[in-house]
Amino acid sequence: MPDFPQCISFDVGGTLIEPWPSVGAVYADAARAVGIPMEDAVLNQRFAAAWVDARKQPGGFDYSRSAWKELVRSTFGDALPQALTNDVFESIWHRFERPDVWKVHPDVLPSLELLRSRPVRLTVLSNWDERLRPLLHRLGLADFFEDIVVSGEVGRHKPDPALFEHAACRWAVDARSILHVGDSDREDLHGPMAAGWQAILIDRTGSKRTNSILKLDELIRMIG
């Protein structure tokens, strides 16, 4: 690390929280409610494929309500009649606003408690939409952070350097003094590094990737 960071910026999905018990389970619940029984595992696979496809589209995924609706449509494909798409989408959209379909990783609260007592600013920089801020409040996480930057509100998404520049400017911190932590190579390592930030991956699988930590409490030793 070139300098001790003045600010730690956190990704959210995969870093602080995960869908619980799974995206497929939430989709399957919504489908069952309109009389379409589908397996969680099948929907998990279909969602994963639709997610990869959506991000390959020109312009990528823009985290808008219409983009999420299209993702729901392509996840279900022919299994969901067009007349029911709206109801199922609305149900899924609102489900993911609720804290009970998210799991906070067990290392998150103890690490944030420790970090909050240190001379470092804590922020969030996430590819998400208008549901993120209220969700983090409901999960009891929002108060740890002095600011939450939501890509959908800015209109730029990681790894776009413009989003990192926007955040650094908003926090009035020199890029080199920010350490970003997240779970995606592209969005949370290469993106911030290209913008001159420090960056580290969280990889709880223990696969010992370079530039990675296993648990968030390892951040303590990086802030001096």
> Which positions touch Mg ion (CB under 5 A)?
11, 13-14, 183
Q: Alpha-carbon Rg of the chain, whole angstroms?
A: 18
Min. distance of Cβ 188 from Mg ion in angstroms?
A: 6
In the bound complex, what is the minimum distance in angstroms from residue 187's beta carbon to Mg ion?
Answer: 7
Is the CB of residue 24 less than 8 Å from the CB of residue 47? yes
C-alpha of 115 from chain center? 20
Residue 4 is encoded by which pair of tokens?
Answer: 């001790």
Closest contact distance (angstroms) between CB of 17 and Mg ion is: 9
With respect to Mg ion, which residue has the nearer C-beta, 90 or 96? 96
Q: Report the nearest approach of Mg ion to the CB of residue 15 (Å).
A: 5
Q: How far is the CB of 63 from Mg ion (least distance, A)?
A: 12
Q: Given the structure tokens 């989408």, which residue do they identify?
A: 89
Q: Which is nearer to Mg ion, 14 or 60 (CB)?
A: 14
Sheet-wide strand order for 121-126:
147-150, 121-126, 7-10, 178-182, 198-202, 212-213
Which residue's CB is nearer to Mg ion, number 14 or number 99?
A: 14
**Cis status, amide bond into 2, omega within 30 of 0:** no
The nearer residue to Mg ion, 147 or 203, going by C-beta atoms, is 203
Counting Cα atoms < 13 Å in the Cβ hemisphere of 54 gives 20
Residue 114 makes CB contacts below 8 A (sequence gap 6+) with: 217, 220
Report, in this order, helix, strand and coil percent for the chain, each rounded to 5: 50, 15, 35
> Please, what is the minimum distance in Å from the beta carbon of residue 206 to Mg ion?
18
Nearer to Mg ion, 46 or 183 (CB): 183
